[in-house]
Structure 1
Amino acid sequence: MQFEYFSVFERVLTLSGLAPLALVGCVGGASPELVASLPAPTYRVAAPVPPPPPPPPRVFAPTPLVTAIDAMVERFGGKVGVAVKSIDDDWMISKNGDVPMPQQSVSKLWVAMTALDLVDQGKLRLDEQLTITRADLTLFHQPIAGLLKNGSYTATAGELMRRAMTMSDNTANDRLLRRVGGPAAVNAFIKRKALGAIKFGPGERLLQSRTAGLNWKQDMAMGRAFQAARAKLPEGVRRAAFNNYVADPIDGAAAAAIANALARLKQGDLFSRASTSHLVTLMESSRTGAARLRARVPAGWRLGHKTGTGQDFSGRTAGFNDVGFLTAPNGRSYTIAVLIGDTSRPVRERQQLMQSVVESVVANHRG
């Protein structure tokens, strides 16, 4: 406890410009009447500072869930990464979660995020009109190509984002990608937001042509021209290109980094409230991959997700993925990332792996 002594006599002397120490002898020799007339000294007691509250107890991941995920990945075989994060309790389970895997269309997430970041900065409007021509067409799944009349189609940035996120439309995504500044802008966004071990590739056309061992030509976007050109390649060329891609994917991302990024999205840590709500709603509106994570989501739970599927070669697929956030009826949420980078297991077994992760999360949910 601290005491501070203040003599009124000392204060008077100080205010009058006289040093109290110089008069100590005078005060000590003063008459009893003078001393008695001086007011009593005053004291001020410093209030004690309360100790900081103890940190809340750390919540650990349910042991049965950790064991289940470890076992299912070990049994599955191949190049697989799985991460599950509790948004509310801040624990994460990761099995090969730091290994970069081919993202394929999962990477459409980062294009949408880059666009919404520009919206928040006032540099893009979702109602901005963007025109698509035949020169913008890509390959594989691009339903927007059927809307080109007289060689062009005009859509808003918001429509392109919706098509990319809910239909996985490659051309819609690449046109939005060009508007936000291309792959360099997306990678810059990922770095600025510190999203971790996530890379964005060169766009759909170059990504798929390199995976196949082809040099892209725009006429490959029409009909099945790409598949025809790929079929003419020697098997050794295709195998080498495929192996190079799955070994070091140019669009590689780690499951743990994706799970963390999705948690930050759901928590509103990346965008304004309006942009956060917009992307979460889009992801919850997606109906792609009905036999993947979505197949085991129970009634009352909500899933927002993005799938990704690469090219096949000799029974292998260069990326077979599903990532998203799972929300329980009581509002508690988890993020899940299941990335199958390379495996010879049948498609049905890949889907069952994803379903098993959802089932285990739900079974170990703490209400």
Structure 2
Amino acid sequence: MVLKRFSAIERALALIWLAPLALVGCGVHVIPPATTAQKAPPPTYTVAVPVPPPAPKPKPAPAALVATVHSLARNFDGLAGIAIKSIDDGWTVSANGEHKMPQQSVSKLWVAMTMLDARDKGLLSLDDPITITKSDLTLFHQPVAGLLEDGSYTTTIGKLEHRALTTSDNTANDKLLWRVGGPDAVRNFLASRGITDIRFGPGERLLQSKTAGLTWQQSYSIGRNFYKARAALPTEVRRDAFNAYLADPPDGAAPVAVVDALARLKKGELLSAGSTTWLISTLQDSRTGPNRIHGAVPSDWVYGHKTGTGQDFDGRTAGYNDVGILTAPDGRSYAIAVMIGETSRTIPQRWKLMHEVVKGLIAAHDHS
């Protein structure tokens, strides 16, 4: 028998091979090497994000009204800006609607809104007393001046604002303007509401004196002193000042911007509900310009508005306006602005332009 000698390496390999068998015999289990487990994919989730429906597109403007408005503006002897906005349907019709026209007393609207915004913030009340003295007097139309007894007149902010809007009293408006912080306060209000293309001037005294070619003096507020000082100026001075105002009115406003702001007022987007109601009802009490737009409004329609009239020179007028909210018997409303920036047409001819605009709107409403 031949005995085979095993090398050290062979003996080591034999021990490694026999070791698991020995362990099994001893009752010890050998755990095989772990294999890489297949991980399950993470769960997926679907989150439903609500998507608001797209805003409804404004209905198209009535074609007949578009034609009427453009024809009226085109054939008018002077610069006339016309804009109409359907507050319910969203469409706008305009001619020269982007041109900044002199506002004149139309700008009293923005003073009123600024005052009511201060009321909404709790900074003042319509019942707060306010006193006018001779140092507050301005010029042109200021019937409150006749109420100054012993040099002063005390009323409330609400009553003075009602007077400013319904009778277009310049002194009443300027007193309220400075009560709420001056021209910058009004400009800040307009900017805070995103109202663009509407300027606000420096106040009645500075605006009118510069338009005439004068430097304001408080003595101009008494009697006819302003008219006398203006008449004494050289014609060239007056013409240059008048033309400069027309070329770039510091109180200029685009008719489209005006009707947009009025529509937002009506929808309650500018002031609180109470202040909105107060302002709209006050505008409906207005007694100025009965033969302007109001002259063509049927008795069963409601019109709340503000007028504005500028100075005359050499047969021309710088600003002859009427803007407001016109409401039909069925409750549908329209913001309307007819702003004559410059014209030598007669007053009745200006009224006719405004009347034709209203007639065209009512005809379009009746056929819609």
For the aligned pair, the TM-score class normalised by the smaller chain equals: 0.7 to 0.9
**What is the CA RMSD across the aligned residues, in angstroms?**
2.1
Which residue in the other structure is 1:86 paired with? 86
Q: Which amino acid aligns with 2:349?
A: E
1:343 aligned residue: 343
The offset of 1:195, in angstroms, is 1.0
TM-score by length of 1: 0.86
Describe the shift of the 1:72–1:48 C-alpha distance in structure 2 as closer, same or farther (beyond 3 A): same
- Aligned counterparts of 2:240 and 2:348: Cα–Cα separation in 1: 26
SS at 1:364's partner residue? helix
Q: Which residue of 2 aligns with 1:35?
A: none
Distance of aligned partners of 1:243 and 1:328 in 2 relative to their CA distance in 1, 3 Å threshold = same
Query: Offset of 1:78 from its aligned partner?
Result: 1.7
1:357 corresponds to: 357
Instruction: Please tell me the residue identity of whatever aligns with 1:251.
Output: D
Determine the structure 1 residue equivalent to 2:248: 248
2:153 pairs with 1:153: yes
The CA deviation at 1:22 is 8.4
Question: Within 1, Cα distance between the matches of 2:105 and 2:50?
Answer: 53
How big is the shift at 1:120?
A: 0.5
- Structure 1 136/291 Cα, relative in aligned 2: closer, same or farther at 3 Å? same
DSSP 3-state at the match of 1:337: strand
Q: Report the residue type matching 1:122 in the other structure.
A: G
Equivalent residue, structure 2, for 1:330: 330
For residues 198 and 292 of structure 1, what CA distance do their matches in structure 2 show? 22
1:103 equivalent in structure 2 = 103
Instruction: Describe the SS at the equivalent of 1:73.
Output: helix
The one-letter code sitting in structure 1 at the alignment partner of 2:117 is: D
- The change in CA–CA distance for 1:87 and 1:59 in structure 2 (over 3 A counts) is same
Structure 1 window deviating more from structure 2 (56-65 vs 188-197): it is 56-65
**Could you say which residue in structure 1 is the equivalent of 2:224?**
224
**Distance (Å, rounded) in 1 between the aligned partners of 2:52 and 2:189:** 37
The residue that corresponds to 1:69 in the other structure is 69
1:47 Cα offset (Å):
11
Aligned-partner residue type, residue 85 of structure 1: K
Change in CA separation of 1:49 and 1:192 when aligned onto 2, cut-off 3 Å: closer
| 1:22-70 Cα deviation digits (max 9, x unpaired) | 899xxxxxxxxxxxxxxxxxxxx98999997676464100000000000
2:28 matched to which residue of 1? none
Question: How big is each residue's C-alpha offset from its partner over 1:314-363, in whole Å with a ceiling of 9 and x where there is no partner?
Answer: 11111000000100001000011111111111111111111111111001
Matched residue, 2:305: 305
Deviations 1:191-214 (A, max 9, x none): 111111001111111111011101
Q: Partner letter of residue 82 of structure 1?
A: I
Taking a change above 3 Å as real, the CA distance of residues 52 and 237 of structure 1, as seen in their structure-2 partners, is closer
- For residues 251-330 of structure 1, the aligned pairs below 5 Å read 251-330=251-330
Give the direction of change, closer, same or farther, for the CA distance of 1:150–1:92 in structure 2 (3 Å limit). same
1:165 correspondence with 2:177:
no
- Cα distance, 1:246 vs. partner? 0.8
Aligned residue identity for 1:347: I
Cα 1:145–1:57 shift into 2, 3 Å: closer
Q: After superposition, give the CA deviation of every residue in 1:66-92 in whole Å (9 maximum; x if it has no partner).
A: 000000100003222111000001000
2:11 alignment counterpart:
none
Q: C-alpha separation between the residues in 2 aligned to 1:109 and 1:310?
A: 16
Q: 1:49 to 1:163 in 2, by over 3 A?
A: closer
Q: What is the CA–CA distance in structure 1 between the aligned matches of 2:306 and 2:79, rounded to whole Å?
A: 20
Q: Could you tell me which residue of structure 2 aligns to residue 202 of structure 1?
A: 202
Distance 1:302 1:125 in 2: 28
| Residue type at the aligned position of 1:80 | A
Q: For the residues of structure 1 that align with 2:336 and 2:353, how far apart are their CA atoms?
A: 12
Q: How many residues align?
A: 329
Change (3 A) 1:48 1:278: closer
SS at match of 1:163: helix
Deviations 1:153-174 (A, max 9, x none): 1111111110110000000000
What CA distance in whole angstroms lies between the structure 2 residues aligned with 1:170 and 1:49? 55
* CA distance in structure 2 between the aligned counterparts of 1:211 and 1:57, rounded to whole angstroms: 43
Instruction: From the CA coordinates, give the structure whose radius of gyration is larger.
Output: 2
Q: Distance in 2 between matches of 1:120 and 1:127?
A: 13
Identity %: 57
The letter of the residue matching 2:322 is: D
TM-score, normalization: structure 2?
0.85
Distance in 2 separating the partners of 1:51 and 1:207: 50
1: CA distance, partners of 2:258 / 2:229 = 34
SS of corresponding position for 2:271: coil
The 1:59/1:238 distance shift into structure 2, 3 A limit, reads: same
Q: For residues 126 and 75 of structure 1, what CA distance do their matches in structure 2 show?
A: 45
Q: Would you say 1:128 and 2:128 are equivalent positions?
A: yes
CA separation of 1:120/1:62 partners in 2, compared to 1, >3 Å: closer, same or farther? same
Distance 1:108 1:251 in 2: 11
1:278-320 deviation digits (Å, cap 9, x = unpaired) = 0000001102101100000012100010000011111111100
1:141 and 2:141 are equivalent in the alignment: yes
Name the residue aligned to 2:20: none
Instruction: Give the unaligned 5+ runs of structure 2.
Output: 1-34, 39-44
Output the amino acid matched with 2:329.
P
Tell me how far apart the structure 2 counterparts of residues 329 and 93 of structure 1 sit (CA, whole Å).
Answer: 21
